[in-house]
Amino acid sequence: MSKEVQKEQSMILQKEMIEGLFNDLASAKETGKKVCYTFVPGNLSELIRTFDMLPVYPEINALQSAMRKKSAAYIKEAERHAHSEDVCTYVKCDVGMMMKGNIGPTGQTIPEPDILLLSYTGCFTFMKWFETLKREYPNAKVVMIHTPYQENGRITPEMLEYMVEQLKVEVIPQMEAVTGIKFDEEKLKKILALSKEAEDWITKIFDTTKNKPSPIDAYFAGVYYIGPINIGFRGTEEAVEYYKALYSEIQERVRLGLGPITPEGEMKEEKYRLVVEGPPNWTNFREFWKIFYDMGAVIVASSYTKVGGVYDLGWRHDPERPLESLAEYCMNCYTNMNIPQRIDLLSKYIRDYDADGYITNSIKSCNSFSAGQLAMMREIEDRMEVPVGFIESDLVDPRYFSYSNIKNRLESYFQMLEQRKIIHETETV
């Protein structure tokens, strides 16, 4: 008999927040709320909230469906309608869910979009995804803001000006037309001030992994922590209070010298500290996590938890520069960074969080993360002189998660880490 999953209070709070959002979506037509479909990386949730719209994030629907063991049927439904096996499984899961009645993860119907808002940030699939949705929802207004890629590793004044012009000329006027609400810059400024506060708290939370033992797992538990800030609650008092409570909870664990809480209870011993690149697998999330905590491995930093914002480098939303701030946010998300920037960031994590090793989880159907990962891994291995590991899975397609293969690879990797520790301890005696 499997053990009952133990959840931190923060996970319970987040579940309540998400359920509240889906309840609002289920009654949107009755309340007259307009609905905006958009994506997590580079999202304009503050602007969406300024126009009193409700957000829907298709990739969040997909991962939630996967964790509830519903994604396989949705993917097969999409493939029956000629969507290739090579297509991003987030897309196929979302499209399949739509074809089966658009019943969301909480069992309630998700309303059709009034706006399809695409902030293009490093993932070409997003554009094709919304082309597909536009064919299914012909009455929805398509609004796109093109985000320049950080090819040379910096945001130029010309890039910023280009983004702000799009917001003024394309995005805001179309939001006004759809909602019937006039753009209110003062309202946006107040929302951005709350975003900044939430970003301060989430940075402090992930910084606690510098402690030994780390009080949290910054990958498996971290994906819960980034939920509110990424899926429409950024810019709310609710998010600020959530992160304050979470930080207080974590600080108590630091005070008591406790390690992370896993689905099976408190982790007893921290043997290995790791940095992980790439998204997790969602269909077998608990089994995936268990391989790590059974080995005493804690992820002290990860790239995936930065997909909605790399706040630990110091950037914040600025209410005094509202449109410029929104534009900078779009350009600063992890998937819009070039390969050298990603290598520098991951190397910084290994150094700052005193990691013993680095692992890449390469996702079969996610090109925006997987492109360049092998080269990144080799460069990090040479630069940081830490053992590196490579595993493969997928986002939400259970056909591409092999528990035995991943477990065998990770066991070999942890054996290598253990041998390295023994050699290091012998040399220092």
For residue 256, what pLDDT is reported? 97
Contact 137, 113 (CB under 8 A): yes
CA-angle at 374, arms to 373 and 378, nearest 5°:
115
The predicted model scores a pTM of 0.93
pLDDT in tens, 151-176: 888 999 999 999 999 999 999 999 99
Q: Average the pLDDT over 232-239 and give the result.
A: 93
For residue 1, what pLDDT is reported? 43
Q: Average the pLDDT over 60-64 and give the result.
A: 91
Query: Which tokens go with 373?
Result: 């990962």
Instruction: Give the integer Cα–Cα distance in Å for 211 and 132.
Output: 46
For residue 122, what pLDDT is reported? 66
For residue 370, what pLDDT is reported? 84
- β-pairing, 265-266 vs 272-277, is unpaired
pLDDT top residue among 161 and 422: 161
Of 355, 420, 347, the C-alpha closest to 377 is 347
For residue 23, what pLDDT is reported? 93
For residue 223, what pLDDT is reported? 93
Query: Which tokens go with 400?
Result: 């591409």
pLDDT in tens, 237-266: 999 999 999 999 999 999 999 999 999 999
Please state, rounded to an integer, the average pLDDT across all residues of the chain: 92
Whether residue 254 lies inside any domain: the answer is no
Please determine, for residue 106, whether its predicted confidence score (pLDDT) is greater than 90: no
Whether residue 72 lies inside any domain: the answer is yes
How many independent structural domains does the chain possess?
Answer: 1
For residue 4, what pLDDT is reported? 54
Whether residue 46 lies inside any domain: the answer is yes
**Residue 246, CA distances (Å) to 16, 216, 286, 300, 379 in order:** 14, 11, 21, 17, 35
For residue 5, what pLDDT is reported? 53
Q: Average the pLDDT over 60-72 and give the result.
A: 93
Residue type, 324: E
Contact 415, 408 (CB under 8 A): no
Query: Which tokens go with 371?
Result: 């492109």
Is the torsion defined by CA of 303, 298, 355, 247 positive or negative? positive
Whether residue 315 lies inside any domain: the answer is no
150 contacts: CB under 8 Å, gap ≥ 6: 331, 336, 337, 338, 341
Whether residue 168 lies inside any domain: the answer is yes
Burial profile 48-70: b = 16 or more Cβ within 10 angstroms, e = fewer:
bbbbebbbbbbbbbbbbbbbeeb
Whether residue 296 lies inside any domain: the answer is no
Instruction: Give the integer Cα–Cα distance in Å for 248 and 233.
Output: 20
pLDDT in tens, 115-125: 999 887 767 78
Whether residue 178 lies inside any domain: the answer is yes
Q: Which domain holds residue 148?
A: 9-183
User: What share of the chain in percent tops pLDDT 70?
Assistant: 96
Q: Any idea what the CATH number is for the domain that residue 135 is in?
A: 3.40.50.11890
pLDDT in tens, 359-406: 999 998 887 778 889 999 999 999 999 999 999 999 999 999 999 999
Please determine, for residue 2, whether its predicted confidence score (pLDDT) is greater than 60: no
- β-pairing, 54-56 vs 272-277, is unpaired
Sheet of strand 35-37: strand arrangement: 54-56, 35-37, 115-120, 141-146
Whether residue 282 lies inside any domain: the answer is no
